[in-house]
Amino acid sequence: MTNFYDRGDVVRLTANFTNLAGSAADPSSVTLRIKQPDNSVVTYNFPGTLTKDSTGQYHYDFAITESGDIYYRFEGTGDVQAAGENLFHVRVSNII
C-alpha cells in the first residue's frame, strides 16, 4: 500500500537490519538512495548523513519538495548484506 503525503511534509524513512539468525545487527555501511519524481537520485550514507538509532536501526528525515512518486532504497554492505525498496506518493497541491 502506498502512503500519501503533501509537499512540505517531512517523512522519516527507516531501515531495520538483521543478521541471518534474525537478531538486530549493523552493516559495515548503510546507503539510502531517494529517486525524486524528476528522476534525479540523491544518495545518503552511514557513517555520514543517516542517523543510527540503535543496533541495526537507521533513519533519515526527508523534506518533501516535489509532487509525484518518490522511491527509496536502503542497502547494507559488509557484515550485514541486505536491501529493501519502497515508495510513497506526494499529492499535487492546488495552492502551490
**Ordered structural domains, the chain, with CATH:** 3-91 (2.60.40.10)
How distant, in Å, are the alpha carbons of 5, 13, 14, 39 from that of 54? 27, 15, 12, 32
| Averaged pLDDT, 64-87 | 94
**Which residue type does 27 have?**
P
pLDDT tens-digit series, residues 19-45: 999 999 999 999 999 999 999 999 999
Q: What is the pLDDT of residue 77?
A: 94
Grid coordinates belonging to 14: 527507516
Using only C-alpha atoms, what is the Rg of the chain?
A: 14
Q: Whole-model pTM?
A: 0.89
Residue 29, class by beta-carbon neighbours within 10 Å (0-12 exposed, 13-18 middle, 19+ buried)?
middle
Residues constituting the chain = 96
Local structure of 62: helix, strand or coil: strand
